[in-house]
Every structure is written in C-alpha cells, then in structure tokens.
Amino acid sequence: MSRKKNKSPIKPGRIRRRKPDPRQEEGPSRNETPEAPKTGEDLPDIIEALTGTTGPAGLFGDGEDMTGPEPSDIPQELPVLAVRDIVVFNYMILPLFVGRDKSVQAVDAALSGDRYILILTQKDESVEDPTPDDLYMTGTVGMIMRMLKMPDGRLKVLVQGLARAKVKRFTANDPYHIAELEPLIEPEVGRLTSEQEALIRSSREQSERILSLRGISSQDIMSVLNNVSEPGRLADLIASNLRMKVGAAQKILECHDPLERLEMVNGQLLKEVEVASMQSKIQAMAKEGMDKAQRDFYLREQLKAIKRELGDDADENEEMEELKKGLRKSGMPKEVMKEATKQLRRLESMHAESSEATVIRTYLDWMIELPWKKLSRDRLDIKQAEKILNDDHYDLEKVKERILEYLSVRKLNSKMKGPILCFVGPPGVGKTSLGRSIARSLGRKFHRMSLGGMRDEAEIRGHRRTYIGAMPGRIIQAIKQCGTRNPVVMLDEIDKLGSDFRGDPSSALLEVLDPEQNFSFTDYYLNVPFDLSKVMFICTANMLDSIPGPLRDRMEVIRIPGYTEQEKTAITRRYIIPRQVRENGLKDGEISISDRLVAKVVREYTREAGLRNVEREVGTLCRKMARKKAEGESGPFKVTAKNLYTLLGPPRFLDDEKETELPPGVAVGLAWTPVGGELLHIEVTTMPGKGKLTLTGKLGDVMKESAQAALSIARARADEYGIDPAFSEKQDIHVHVPAGATPKDGPSAGVTLVTALISALTDTPVSPDLAMTGEISLRGRVLPVGGIKEKILAAVSRGMKKVLIPAQNKKDLSEIPDELRKRITIKTIEKVDEVWPLARKK
C-alpha cells in the first residue's frame, strides 16, 4: 500500500505522551466541541473521503500497532469529560476544545495522573451543566496525548479513543464528574462465514461508491480499508467518519457484537449512498444553472462595455447594480420583489435627471432598507426579564405579570403574534418608562411615537407617491429606524388623537392594531403589504372615554392607578433620589434624607396620582445642595425637619385643611379625574319659595339628572327622614358644587347629592370625616361606579376616616393595598336608606 509520509509528531494509532507546556495561560470557555484537524500530508486520505470535508473529525492508523490497552491497565475510576455533537470511537484521534469548569478540572485531574479520561456524550447538547442523567452511560476511555491552552482561555486537548466502557455508577459530581466504569471487552470473531465476509465486502463497496459519487480518487483509500480485516475495527473506522446524528452514532458505540455493529454501519452507509446520489444530482443541476448564469454575466459585461463606448455614465450603472444587489439581499416576499423589480426596470429606462427617476430611486431605497426578514432575538429568560422589570419599576404587578405571561407563551410558541396593550392611568405613573423597560426585558428595539394632536391619516398610512415630498407613514418609519421587524412600538397619548378634513388617524390605526389584519398592513407610499404581526404595540392613555369604541376593542387595557403615600416614598427612595443626585452633579452619599422626611415631602408638597411633582421637589433639594457644594462647602449635606421648610418653602398642602365641622347641607363626595381621585364638596341650601331647584357649578347633564333623582327620592321618603312633606311647595333649593370654573360630570355623585339634600332639609350636619361615592336609582338602589382605588387614595390623602362605596364595588377592594385599608374604614351600601344613618354626625 502506498502512503504519503506522515509528518505528524504523533504517529497515527500510537500513543505518544507529552507534558503540557506550563508557560501557556489558562482560562474558561463555554463548551467542548470537536475541532477538525488541519488537512496535510500527515492525515490519511480516507478521513477526507468519508466525511466529505477538508477537515476530518477523526484520525486512524493504517493497521499498524492499533491494539488498545489491556482492561486491567484501565483504572476502575476515571474523571469524566462530557462532549456534545460527537461520539468518540476506539482508535479515533481528535482535538477538543474544553472550557466548562467541570471539564477543565476533569482534564487537569487526568493530566496529573495517568492521562486516562472517560469521554461521555451529552443527550441534549443545549445543557450547559450536564448531570449524570444528561449523559449516555456508554462511552470511550481516552488518552490525553497533548494539551494546549488557547489565547482566548480555552484548553485544546488531543485525545485518542482506546476502549469502550460502561458506567457502573458516578462516585462524585463535584468539582467534576468521576465514574466507576467497566471496560467492554470485544468478543473475538472466529472464522468468518460467507455471509459475514459478504457484509465486510458490502461495507467496503458502499464506501467506494460514496467516494466515486463525491469525485474522490479511491485507490489509496480502498487499500487502507482492504487492510483492515477485523469487523469491529472496520465498523469503528467507518462509523467515526460518517455523517450521523449523535443518537445513531451512540447506538453503534453501545453495540457489543462486532458483526452486529458492522451491520448497523452498513445500514448507515446505504443511507449515505442515497444522500450522496441525490447530492450529486443536485450539484449537476446547479452546475447547469451556473453555466447559464456565467453566460448571462458575460453578455451583461459586453453590454456594459458597449454603453461605456457610447458615453453612458459609469456611476449610473454602478448605482443600478447596487440597487439590484440590495433588492436581492433584502429578503422581500415574492410579491413585493415583483413590484420592486418592476420599478427598477422603469428606473433603468428613464433619464437619470428626471424628477420621476428621483421618486422611484427614493422608493427603492426605502424598500431595500426595510427589515423584511430581520428579527430581534427575544430574551426568553423569564427570571432575567422579571429582574429587569423589578429593577426599573416598583409595584405594577399586573403589568409585569402580563409581560412575563407573554414571554412564557413566546418561549413555547415562537409563531405567536405580538400583543396590543394599552396602559391607562394618570400622568406621571410611569406608563412611557414602563414601555422602555418592557423592550429592555425582551431584548428588543424600542420606538416611541407621540400621537397627541395628530389629525392627518397620512401620518399613519403614509402619502401616495403622486404627491411631491411623499413619505411613508410613521409606523413604517419606526420599523426602518429600529432595523428589525419585531420592535416594541409605543403609541403615546392615543386618547388625544384628533380628526379633520384630512382624515381620521384613529380609523387608520384600526388595521395597525388588529392582529388579524396587520400581517398585511399596506402603507400608501410603499403600496405593498408589510407584516406588523411581530411588532409589540403598547398604547398609553389618561382616560378611555375619548378613544373610539372599535379602536378600544382591539386593545388589551391594563389600568395603572395612582400610588399610595407609602409607594411614593419607596419609589422616591429607590429611583428618584439617585437619579436626581446624578443629574445635579452630586455623588452617591453626598445628600442624606430620611424616609420620614421623604414621606413628609410627598404628603405636604405634592397631591397627585403620579410622581412628577415629587421629582420636581426632590430636584429642588438636590439643586440647593449642589449650590452649596459649588460654593465650597463639603458634604454630606443632610436634609432635616428644621431646614426642610427653608429649602422648599412652606407646605403647599396640610392635613388640617380638612374641615373639622361641616354645616348642614354640605357633604363630601369622591370624584375620579384623569390625574387621580379628588374630593368634591357638594353644598345645598334652602330658602323660602315654591320648590324651584337651582343647579350651579358648571355641572354636566349626568350630574344634573342625579340632582333631580336625589330631589325625587327626598320628596318620596320625606316621612322616613323627618322632612316636612310640603317642603317642595314652600322652599326653593339651590345645589352648588364649588370650583365653578371646572366642568364636572359623571355618574358617581348621586349618593352625595341625596345626603347633602337631606342634611339641608333636616338641618343636621354630616360627619366631616366621611366621604362617599355611588350613583342612585329612583327605587333607592346604590349603583356601582369606577375609579374606586383612586377615590380611596384621595380620601386617605385628605385625612378622611371613613368611606362609603356601593356594595357591588366590593370586588374592587382587592386592588387596595393592605397598608392603605388600615388607615381608613370602608363601608359598603346597597340602598340609599343605609346612607343617612352612617353619614349624619352623631
């Protein structure tokens, strides 16, 4: 047999021990993967032939000195090296990259001993820290021949398979796996029968056929195969270089009988012959296509030369080629590519300086730059996403839970559509910043789009290209800026959309925010469908009333109510103070303020559902301290109860603003506003007259009707409340709600109107510590209302001790924090008759 001289320092099939170079550096890596040795004269041609690659995965001897160690020479316990994507067979020599801590320590343990190591394959290659259950129990005892420490910190070891072995049990798992093993002694094959000889010949013939299909000279290679006469060794030689899945290779390794193992290898060879035949056919077809492409290329080159001789601008040709190249690489769908190609042909036939050519060139630039296929890879680590959300925002458990639910479903179903969320709440509660945190937790790009005051439908759908200066809509612009097809797009202030003669943007958003339609959203400028189904749209609004019903129906509404005093204090301590310290040029620890004083700032200097005024006040404190530092004073600067009023001025809101006594005819109601809950004083006075009812305070129609209903209830139940039944004939009634310049309306003032009316007619004052909310019916039922949490927050912040709410709103009390419910007594009422006994002053 003719063989090229082996120039490798390690002779194939033999074990040559060499100590590692102590000068090389150590460092961890992430995985253990096989690396193909470089092609050269020192590698047998058979490896390249059977793998079809220029870098073989294994290295075998030529039949010379290929005996393994005696079973008695192999220790009963060996360190375990877990590998993935490969199964090591006997006599196989291959390099491995080692980087995991346990694997590195296993290699070190083997090198410090007799260099034996047990190589086991992982069942699941994605497991980073495999346990014994993650490993196959049959593997190969290997010898570490050389070790090299790479510049990037990984170890590169050269191992040779020596003998198959089966794990009895794992004796240790830390700091690395150690296994008690049993070497598998291969039974000797006696005189071969004719059937067995046929099997060996078939294996050789199938190997030769694979070589011929791949166009590789097989004379020297077949000489090597013909020299190996033992069935088991021949099976190992061929199996280690076949393209097989790990499971199939592991079954061959676990097969103990040499002839049965060769039968399994022969079956794999038959499959490989089929694949190689089909591959050869495909390559022949591809070659025909390449010949045609070459012919077209030569013709195009000649056409370019003719154009150059005619004096055509070379830059224009280069620009056309760049456009064609960009279209090919853009990943457009077939129907979109058809439209783009059509426009490109039109451009080629136009004069470069024409105005229409400029329009088409700009259009093609937009088409090329859009991310038709590019997707950001979602961060599907639920725990990490939860940590990011908790780090960025305090509380808001419902929102965080919804995002984590989306991530969980996305992890299980990669084809799910993006959700359409709508955060509704007062200003300053963190709706916009929450969108940024969601994008960061998902690992996606973020784009914020303000819709406040938008009146033109073209802002959403884009302008048609017939207009001068036409541009795509802001949705497509956002996709282009993000450079990915699945960003997080925040549609801010969606409740403030307008409409006029130019169209209705809210109607245009119906397609954008509908998961059943937005997979083929058509922008007027592009005039081709674009898939928005992977985009996560997050809308924000202060109130839902101004959002059209069909648009509201397409969104999943998540309400973000105002914060309690304790929540504001915690958020101020955790987020606002550190941010303001940095923004005002101070360092951590240079300003000191206790939690008690933070709560005092929140209580006495702000009265809102959000945190914007809190941030302004904290910013004022930081600026005062920054000035002291700039003037030469040294910190830390401490805010105390004595200097707080000097720094911020007198308190803007005091708890004693609540009236200690209410005159007859005055009751305190609770109202909901876009900026949180408010207390509403309703005043009723009587005077001699003929039963006329006067309503003042810029009341809306709903409140006017509630006042009429309250008067009817008082007249119908005058005897029950001790009211003169003839009062409607002798007295005029005037109902007034202070702050007359502020419009007031809504279905939650009925209970308060009835209470104030009864108080005036009976000349009995109402308890000053009581606030109430609820609508009434003429039958005396108390009907449910909305905004319970905001209203109770307002009652607590104004020092109220008791609140009356409709019984049907009892379910909303689950949203009230326990620490807030401890500070106020909440009573539920079903009928109007229950209100007056609770409301009148004892």
At 455-473, the pLDDT tens digits run 888 888 888 888 878 899 9
- Of 712 and 315, the structure prediction assigns the larger pLDDT to 712
Beta carbons of 475 and 521 less than 8 angstroms apart: yes
Task: Tell me the mean pLDDT in the region 389-410.
Answer: 85
pLDDT of 229 higher than 90: no
Tell me the angle at which helices 231-239 and 246-254 cross, rounded to the nearest 10 degrees. Answer: 170
pLDDT of 672 higher than 90: no
pLDDT of 64 higher than 60: no
pLDDT in tens, 483-520: 999 999 999 999 888 777 777 888 888 888 888 888 88
Would you state the pLDDT for residue 21?
Answer: 40
CA atoms of 64 and 50, how far apart (whole Å): 20
**Rounded-to-10 torsion of CA 27, 29, 33, 38:** -50
Task: Tell me the mean pLDDT in the region 737-747.
Answer: 77
Would you state the pLDDT for residue 39?
Answer: 30
CA atoms of 221 and 108, how far apart (whole Å): 37
pLDDT band at 379 (very low <50, low <70, confident <90, very high): confident
CA atoms of 621 and 619, how far apart (whole Å): 5
pLDDT of 48 higher than 50: no
3-state secondary structure of 569: helix
Annotated catalytic residue: which of 376, 506, 748, 797? 748
pLDDT band at 658 (very low <50, low <70, confident <90, very high): low
Instruction: Label residue 450 exposed, middle or buried (CB < 10 Å: 0-12, 13-18, 19+).
Output: middle
pLDDT of 718 higher than 50: yes
pLDDT of 450 higher than 70: yes
User: Phi first, then psi: what are they for 377, rounded to 5°?
Assistant: -80, 120
Would you state the pLDDT for residue 352?
Answer: 67
**Rounded-to-10 torsion of CA 488, 489, 493, 495:** -100
CA atoms of 651 and 665, how far apart (whole Å): 30
Place of tokens 């980073």: 128
- Amino acid occupying residue 766: V
Please list the residues that pair with 4 across neighbouring strands. Answer: none
Of 449-458, 601-610, 803-812, give the range with the top mean pLDDT: 803-812
Beta carbons of 528 and 335 less than 8 angstroms apart: yes
Please list the residues that pair with 96 across neighbouring strands. Answer: 34, 157
Pairing of strands 825-829, 802-806: parallel
Instruction: Label residue 380 exposed, middle or buried (CB < 10 Å: 0-12, 13-18, 19+).
Output: middle
pLDDT cut 90: percent of the chain above it: 26
CA atoms of 259 and 265, how far apart (whole Å): 10
pLDDT cut 70: percent of the chain above it: 87
- Amino acid occupying residue 246: V
The beta-strand segments (E) located in 478-579 are 488-492, 521-522, 529-530, 536-541, 556-559
CA distances, 199 to each of 228, 261, 522, 570 (Å): 14, 11, 64, 78
CA atoms of 14 and 69, how far apart (whole Å): 11
CA atoms of 397 and 561, how far apart (whole Å): 12
CA distances, 1 to each of 366, 537, 580, 607 (Å): 64, 70, 82, 95
- Of 413 and 742, the structure prediction assigns the larger pLDDT to 413
Least-confidence region, from 46-55, 520-529, 633-642: 46-55
Task: Tell me the mean pLDDT in the region 68-80.
Answer: 81
pLDDT band at 315 (very low <50, low <70, confident <90, very high): low
Would you state the pLDDT for residue 740?
Answer: 63
- Average pLDDT of the chain is 82
- Of 314 and 382, the structure prediction assigns the larger pLDDT to 382
Tokens of 424: 């509704």
Task: Tell me the mean pLDDT in the region 315-328.
Answer: 81
3-state secondary structure of 328: helix
Would you state the pLDDT for residue 59?
Answer: 41
CA atoms of 82 and 125, how far apart (whole Å): 10
Cβ neighbours of residue 90 closer than 8 Å, sequence gap 6 or more: 68, 140, 161, 162, 163, 164, 233, 236
Annotated catalytic residue: which of 431, 728, 791, 797? 791
pLDDT in tens, 610-620: 888 999 999 99
pLDDT band at 16 (very low <50, low <70, confident <90, very high): very low
pLDDT of 62 higher than 60: no
Q: Please work out, in degrees rounded to the nearest 5, the angle formed at the alpha carbon of residue 490 by the alpha carbons of 489 and 492.
A: 150
- Of 442 and 288, the structure prediction assigns the larger pLDDT to 442
pLDDT of 180 higher than 60: yes
Say whether 791 is catalytic. yes
3-state secondary structure of 599: helix
Cβ neighbours of residue 410 closer than 8 Å, sequence gap 6 or more: 378, 380, 416
Would you state the pLDDT for residue 656?
Answer: 45
Reply yes or no: is the peptide bond before residue 578 cis, omega within 30 of 0: no
pLDDT of 255 higher than 80: yes
Considering only CA atoms, which of 771, 774, 776 is closest in space to residue 787? 774
Taking phi first (over 0 means left), then psi (-120 to 50 degrees means alpha), and beta for anything else, what does residue 115 get? left
pLDDT of 254 higher than 60: yes
pLDDT of 542 higher than 60: yes
Least-confidence region, from 37-46, 263-272, 362-371: 37-46
Tokens of 409: 């479903």
Task: Tell me the mean pLDDT in the region 29-53.
Answer: 39
Max intra-chain CA distance, the chain: 130
Would you state the pLDDT for residue 68?
Answer: 60
pLDDT of 228 higher than 50: yes
CA dihedral sign of residues 799, 804, 809, 811:
positive
Our measurement of the distance from residue 335's CA atom to the centroid of its chain's CA atoms, rounded to an integer in Å, reads 31
CA atoms of 512 and 515, how far apart (whole Å): 8
Whole-prediction pTM value?
0.54
Task: Tell me the mean pLDDT in the region 352-364.
Answer: 82
